């Protein structure tokens, strides 16, 4: 069985390997920042995106959108 010290050393080695891997990626800085930002809380994007999608669908389909959504999820009758 591993003791705590060995476990922490192993984690630090893995972290160093991951850090080197990230440093060699060909990814723009803004994409890295966006990825970290989304990794913390993906709801920051999902909720506003769903609200915008709802408004757009409601504007294009009108009140018929409610019927389409209900049909999509099995109806409500």
Average pLDDT of the segment spanning 7-19:
90
Q: Rounded to two decimals, what is the model's pTM?
A: 0.43
- Residue 63 is predicted with a pLDDT of 82
pLDDT digits (tens, 9 = 90+) for 24-74: 777 788 887 888 878 778 888 889 999 999 889 888 888 888 788 788 888
- Residue 9 is predicted with a pLDDT of 92
- Residue 1 is predicted with a pLDDT of 56
| C-alpha to C-alpha distance for 12 and 67, rounded to whole angstroms | 55
| C-alpha to C-alpha distance for 49 and 66, rounded to whole angstroms | 18
Please answer whether residues 45 and 52 qualify as being in contact, where contact means their C-beta atoms are separated by less than 8 angstroms. no
């Amino acid at each position: 069985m591993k003791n705590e010290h060995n476990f922490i050393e192993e984690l630090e080695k893995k972290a160093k390997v991951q850090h080197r891997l990230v440093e060699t990626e060909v990814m723009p800085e803004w994409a890295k920042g966006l990825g970290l930002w989304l990794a913390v809380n993906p709801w920051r994007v999902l909720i506003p995106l769903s609200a915008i999608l709802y408004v757009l669908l409601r504007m294009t389909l009108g009140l018929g959108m409610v019927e389409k959504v209900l049909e999509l999820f099995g109806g409500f009758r």
